[in-house]
Amino acid sequence: MGSLLRALRPRASWSLAALALFSALSASCLPESEDEATSQEEEGLRYTAWSVVASLDALHDELVLAQPEGTHDRTLACAGGGTATITGTTTIDMATSTRSVDLTFVLTGCAPAPRSADGQLQGDVTFDGTATKEGSASSISVGYTYAAVGLQMEGYVTAYGSRHRVNRGCDLSVEKKTAGSKGTLCGSEVAW
């Protein structure tokens, strides 16, 4: 019986070592704390808000390529599928080089697929709902307000190597200024 126990002892210690290693590896894939999980959710919301604003900006840019100023009522195809019906006005004050907008976007399965200039931020999100963009910009300042109530969002936002799943409907309120953007998405504060 003693020889049987001696034979099993190395296997038992190996099994315990393997179990300890598996536990350590499994734990490293999960958030270490509730604070880390909250931080990851906040990061996901920040990049989702960026995706909404970048999407509306991309649609606005496409609209004014065809008609820089005036009254708009136009439906555009979104880059990744769906449509955006854009209504409202855009104006240009030539004396101050200020462009003003007051636009409403009705998004139907719209996937604008925005990308940041450096390629580090990418939004592959489909939007359903209504959003607005109001304000103005010149060569020296930016002042836009973006809003949506119950905007449905589904897809992924990838930022600096982190991929965040988006599948919710909620309100957005963001101010974009020369120094950056801040506001709320889904009741949480966001800034970038």
Q: Based on the fold, state whether residues 19 and 80 are members of the same structural domain.
A: no
Lookup result for tokens 């931080």? 39
**Total count of domains within the chain:** 2
What band does 38 get if pLDDT is binned at 50, 70 and 90?
Answer: confident
Q: Based on the fold, state whether residues 1 and 92 are members of the same structural domain.
A: no
- What percentage of the chain carries pLDDT values higher than 90? 72
Q: What is the mean pLDDT of residues 95-120?
A: 94
What per-residue confidence (pLDDT) applies to 30? Answer: 41
Q: Based on the fold, state whether residues 6 and 37 are members of the same structural domain.
A: no
What band does 119 get if pLDDT is binned at 50, 70 and 90?
Answer: confident
What band does 37 get if pLDDT is binned at 50, 70 and 90?
Answer: low
What per-residue confidence (pLDDT) applies to 53? Answer: 96
Whole-number average pLDDT of the chain: 86
Check residue 115 and report its DSSP letter: B
Q: Based on the fold, state whether residues 61 and 132 are members of the same structural domain.
A: yes
Q: Based on the fold, state whether residues 95 and 160 are members of the same structural domain.
A: yes
Q: What is the DSSP string of 118-171?
A: TS-EEEEEEEEEEEEEEEEE-SS-EEEEEEEEEEEEEEEEEETTEEEEEEEEEE
Q: Based on the fold, state whether residues 9 and 56 are members of the same structural domain.
A: no
What per-residue confidence (pLDDT) applies to 42? Answer: 92
Q: Based on the fold, state whether residues 65 and 4 are members of the same structural domain.
A: no
Q: What's the rounded Cα separation, in Å, for the pair 170 and 153? A: 8
Q: Based on the fold, state whether residues 11 and 71 are members of the same structural domain.
A: no
Q: Based on the fold, state whether residues 86 and 158 are members of the same structural domain.
A: yes
Q: Based on the fold, state whether residues 3 and 63 are members of the same structural domain.
A: no
Q: Based on the fold, state whether residues 103 and 12 are members of the same structural domain.
A: no
Q: What is the mean pLDDT of residues 24-47?
A: 65
pLDDT > 90? residue 67: yes
pTM value?
A: 0.80
Q: What is the mean pLDDT of residues 157-173?
A: 95
3 state DSSP class of 29: coil
Q: Based on the fold, state whether residues 2 and 38 are members of the same structural domain.
A: no
Note down the domain range covering 17: 1-30
